[in-house]
Amino acid sequence: MSKIEIRDLCFRYQENKDEKLALDHINLAIEEGEFICILGPSGCGKSTLLSLLEGLNTATDGGIYIDDALVTGTGTDRAVVFQHYSLFPWLSAKGNVIFGIKQSKKKYSKAERNELAEEYLKNVGLEDAVDKYPAQLSGGMQQRVAIARALALEADILLMDEPFGAIDPKLRQELQELFSNLSKEKKKTVVFVTHDIDEAILLADRIVVMEPGKIRDEITVTIPYPSKRMDLAGTQEFQNLHNRLMSLFYERVAAEIGNEEVYL
């Protein structure tokens, strides 16, 4: 039995008077401790799929199962990090992390919550910013608080919706490596939505490539952990995988305009 099983999943929604099919018979099994990147162009259904995994939306047909139990709503077995920080501006960095801990560990004492929050802020390099408020933190620091809050929940599953998309490239690379290391150390099952091919290669054990409403392909990443972008970029293995993923994006476009070859 897989940790997460997506079985014949469909999701339809109303747009004006028309019914739109956002996800069309999706099937996917995710193993415990696996890091899955869902890769695809804007509008292909990546974030819709993540919202169903969160339990914020309900499948029209089929279902999602965690530990063989049907997902019927949100739960403390899943923690979420969004592209935008979603921090409470009136709470300090530590206060934001503690707020998350309170939702999943109601029996913890105040001292235990404080200790856990400080531990996870230290893990993301923010031990000197525990008492600072979001307005006093840079965008990258705010996102590290959001990651610390998600990790402090100690949920089995982490759901990430383009969490580094609004961050400058240098800091984005640092956060990718930081999150990859922490998720592996904590043995989390991760579903990470991105449209960045290099990011997917760097982070994933397996890459699920989507086209509108469907899974186009699944690719296992054989590059050993830990991986660093600077070490990977010039390797033949990286280039081959990058080109393969690029071809999956452009193959469909080429077919639509009648071309038989794809030029990378």
The CATH class given to the 4-226 domain equals alpha beta
* Largest CA-CA distance found in the chain, in angstroms, rounded: 65
Q: Are 199 and 176 in contact (CB under 8 A)?
A: yes
Q: Between the CA atoms of 233, 236, 238 and 242, what dihedral angle is there, to the nearest 10 degrees?
A: 110
The domain ranges of the chain are: 4-226
User: Between these two residues, 206 and 172, which has the higher pLDDT value?
Assistant: 206
Residue 85 is predicted with a pLDDT of 67
Q: Among the listed ranges 1-5, 229-233, 245-249, which one has the minimum average pLDDT value?
A: 229-233
Mean pLDDT value across residues 78-91: 85
Q: What b/e string do you get for 243-260 counting C-beta neighbours within 10 Å, with b at 16 or more? A: eebeebbeeeeeeeeeee
Lowest-confidence pick of 88-102, 147-161, 175-189, 207-221: 175-189
| Amino acid 263: pLDDT | 36
Q: How far apart are CA 60 and CA 87, in angstroms?
A: 31
Average pLDDT taken over every residue of the chain: 85
pTM here is 0.86
What are the phi and psi torsion angles at 5 (to 5°)? Answer: -125, 120
Helices vs strands, H then E, count in the chain? 8, 10
